[in-house]
Amino acid sequence: MSLIKNALPIVFVFFSITNLYAQPTIWNSATSYNIGDLVVSGESTYIAISESSNQEPPNATYWTDLSVAASALGVPEETVPTLDTTTILDSLSALESPDDNTTSVSSSKIINISTNGYSEAGAQKMSAGFIISGTENLKVYIKAEKSQEAGITPLTNPKLQVWNISRTSMLYENDNWGTNSNVSEINVLGGSYPPIESTDAAVLVTLAPGAYLVDVFGAAGNTGKALVAVNNVDSTSSSQLINISTNGYAYTGAQKMSAGFIISGTEDVKVYIKAEKSQEAGITPLTNPKLQIWNISRTTMLYENDNWGTNSNVSEINALGGSYPPIEATDAAVLVTLSPGAYLADVFGASGNVGKALVAINKVN
């Protein structure tokens, strides 16, 4: 087994939603740190490799100096702080993975994920995050469509922006997909890939391994329900989409938030899905979310969870570590093994309440 393959199970554990947004902060003895957090202590910057509180760097049990990361990455030390934490941890994992790691990795992949949710104005816009794991570039197709569901208020004329995970650099922007210089390649994708309406937004781009954000909002400041989809359309790259999350509004009934995903391949995949009350500032959060996993035709509910601590395999969820376990006891999650196929994850308030939630889907083996 190659070094990278050995590293993958560890990489999965390292990734978490909250630490993707990490920015270096001054180390503080009163702060609890998660894997991937970046801190400045003395004249050095450190990345957390284990959860800790009041463990001042340098302390090799909990922190790695970014000069070590620079060595792992084979780049000049001054370049490292500009890289996202995913890339850094990925490289460190490859170095630190023991040769006798025999954890099996499913060859199946999550190749598509989409979320139907409400995009509200400003900080309440819908935002999807995703991670490309591996060593090769990956061609991904991203689209933001006006929701075509019945009984909802659709987001007309959506616009999308692709950002690096720290939201310091906007990489791509599209308002109306027909304006892309490679629109012919989008049309060649065929099927339901090209957006439905000319005012829908899409990009077909090649991205390096790392973590990214996709913002979806109304081009004229308008609001409503939209579908955001991220697809692996690369038949040659060995890299994978391993995580995608969406922050969006969940209303009641048909206006709930719903994430869809596709597992391709021949082997079963262990998938961790969670629905968290959004912890963002300046928004109305969905308190006490509930989660249901359905087959794609929505004829059979496969799994349901209200509060993640009630799962019979809650110890396995805790063992995922980092910020995989949900933040609040009333958040919902399931850790399940799924066969290749297409699925839906519905997110809504357990008591008919509404607000902004995060739904995250992670391949964990």
CB of 102 to Ca ion, least distance (A): 36
Q: Cβ closer to Ca ion: 56 or 175?
A: 175
Say which amino acid occupies 196: I
Say which amino acid occupies 169: S
CB of 144 to Ca ion, least distance (A): 8
Q: Cβ closer to Ca ion: 109 or 290?
A: 290
Q: Cβ closer to Ca ion: 39 or 347?
A: 347
Q: How many CB atoms lie within 10 A of CB 298?
A: 11
Burial class (CB in 10 A: 0-12, 13-18, 19+), 235: exposed
Task: Give the H or E element holding residue 17.
Answer: helix 17-20
CB of 348 to Ca ion, least distance (A): 10
Q: Give the 3-state secondary structure of residue 123.
A: helix
Burial class (CB in 10 A: 0-12, 13-18, 19+), 337: exposed
Q: Cβ closer to Ca ion: 33 or 251?
A: 251
CB of 350 to Ca ion, least distance (A): 5
HSE on the CB side for 140, CA within 13 Å? 33
Contact residues for Ca ion, defined by CB under 5 A: 157, 175-176, 199, 201, 219, 288, 306-307, 330, 332, 350
Encoded tokens for 148: 């075509």
CB of 292 to Ca ion, least distance (A): 12
Encoded tokens for 322: 């980092």
CB of 306 to Ca ion, least distance (A): 4
Q: Cβ closer to Ca ion: 219 or 283?
A: 219
Burial class (CB in 10 A: 0-12, 13-18, 19+), 331: buried
Q: Cβ closer to Ca ion: 233 or 350?
A: 350
